[in-house]
Amino acid sequence: MAPGNDAKLTRLRDLLPGAIYLPADSDPALTTVRTDAAAVQPGDLYVHLDPFDSTDAEIAVIRGAAAVITERLLPDVPVPLVLVDDGFAACAELTAAMAPIRSTLPTIVSVGGVTGACRVATIVAAIHAHAGERVGLLTESCDDDGEHCLPRDQRSKDAASRWLRRCELGDVTTAIAQTVAGEQAGATPLVACLVSLRCDGLDNLGRPCWESNAAHRRAVVDSLGELDAGVTLVVNADDSECIRVASTHTGRVLTFGESGTADIRVVPVESHAAGQTLIVAVGSDSACVAIGSPGRAARRDAAAAIAAALAVGFDLQTAVRGVDLSPCVPGALSPVPCGQAFSVYIDNAVRPTDLADAFDGARGKGRLLAVVKLADSAIVALRQLSAASQLADRVFAHGRVELEDDTPAGVTVVEDRLSAIAVAIGLADEGDSVLVAGSHDEKSDRQLITKLLRRRLECEDRRAAA
């Protein structure tokens, strides 16, 4: 939030006493604080948050910035520099000093889970945004305070509390946060959504990170914060561990899932290569929703987001419309248009349980050909291959791990990811499905797959012409 230029002048040295000022005798006054270089007006202060490039700071100076607050020395910036340890914290401190005191705080929604929490938080934010609200969103990759959307600062342990403070100082009406296992919650939420506790003790890269599954589940639950009687707990009715947590909650509980006992129940109606259609039933009310991703994980995430929106106070039709209009969330199982008689999907699944969900969504009428990125641990890699070999017809695995000759039947270990994807696409027949799992750069993978599909079509056209 940028305060007005009519605010009382205060010296930066009073608010940032630990900063280094260059030149040493500079004494900038606190005026309007900007983090967007294109919005800087003459006399404003610019907070430079880019750790690699100084271009935005130079633009801010050209537009008339009186001083630049930064975490590092910027030799090409001719105005006074204020060097701080944490640019985000400095921005929050200065904004707090300039902003009027708010009489209301945003509604806080916390979303946690072993898998799916990032996607659910993003969909919940889309529901609130399409309803006309000003939304703040914090996930493992996104830090959006309603005005500026930045990558999440992975270095800081108090990123959640600083993000919430910025949301409070802005005009945010709903703050939605994906909680991170092992980190403390920034504040007590109005609604806490527990997406999934089914786990295998591995992190998103397939590495062992907890001494036991129970410890991992406990860390996820603890990350939601203090769940007193005033918190509405939204849980997955299809996950027995989630139901166990709900049984100890003293406040309101809403359940979602495909179970007949769920308060918000989803019923699959139609599934196709580009997604699926569901019926969402809440008591005597029901609505139809289309989502752009197939499989049970996508149904779970959509149901969780709708349940969280209902818990806040939305009606079913508004919640469903927000899901219909929400963008495809990176990392979810998503189709790649290929123009051929088989289907191709991308997913970020690495852990055995996530691979099982991805295989469920990608499975079509024919064979399932899967590309799997192996974890660096031989023990974990064999667990991945054991799960994959049972659910896919052919598995093409790649990774740096050294495996013995005891790989399961139907598994082929290749040198690199390009080779694995090329072989899977080359072997696909009519009605088959190709799943490229372990994708952590979806844009690059899509470009690679599109290029391989184009080459296959060209080869087929040449054979047909001959």
C-alpha–C-alpha distance, residues 372 and 387, integer Å: 11
pLDDT of res. 192: 95
Q: How confident is the model at residue 208 (pLDDT cuts 50, 70, 90)?
A: confident
Question: Helix (H, G, I), strand (E, B), or coil: what is residue 380?
Answer: helix
User: Is the separation of the CB atoms in 172 and 106 below 8 Å?
Assistant: yes
According to CATH, where is 3.90.190.20 located in the chain? 334-465
Contact 262, 255 (CB under 8 A): yes
Give yes or no for a contact between 396 and 332, defined as CB atoms under 8 angstroms apart: no
What does pTM read for this prediction? Answer: 0.74
Q: Is the pLDDT of residue 449 over 60?
A: yes
Terminal C-alpha separation, the chain: 65
Start-end of CATH 3.40.1390.10 domains in the chain: 10-98
Residue 31: phi, psi to the nearest 5? -120, -145
pLDDT digit string (tens) for 149-200?
Answer: 888 776 677 788 888 888 888 889 999 999 988 787 778 899 999 999 988 8
Give the CATH fold of the 334-465 domain.
Protein-Tyrosine Phosphatase; Chain A (3.90.190)
10-98 under CATH 3.40.1390.10, yes or no? yes
pLDDT of 443 = 86
Contact at 8 Å (CB) between 312 and 174?
A: yes
Distance CA 112, CA 193 (A): 6
Nearest to 370 by CA among 383, 387, 353: 387
Query: What's the pLDDT score for residue 103?
Result: 40
Closest CA to 9 of 27, 30, 26, 28: 30
Return the bridge partners of 195, or none: none
Q: How far apart are CA 11 and CA 129, in angstroms?
A: 37
| Residues 137, 64: Cα–Cα separation, whole Å | 31
- Residue whose C-alpha is closest to residue 236's, from 179, 297, 313: 297
For residues 79 and 67, is the Cβ–Cβ distance under 8 A? yes
Decide the pairing of beta strands 343-346 and 334-335: antiparallel
pLDDT in tens, 25-53: 888 888 888 888 888 888 889 999 888 88
Displacement of CA 413 from its chain's centroid (Å): 30
Is the pLDDT confidence value at 78 over 70?
A: yes
How far apart CA 411 and CA 389 sit, in angstroms, is: 7
d(CA 421, CA 336) in angstroms, rounded, equals 13
Which residues lie closer than 8 Å to 429 by C-beta, 6 or more apart?
341, 342, 366, 367
CATH assignment of 107-325?
3.40.1190.10
Residues of the chain with CATH 3.40.1190.10: 107-325
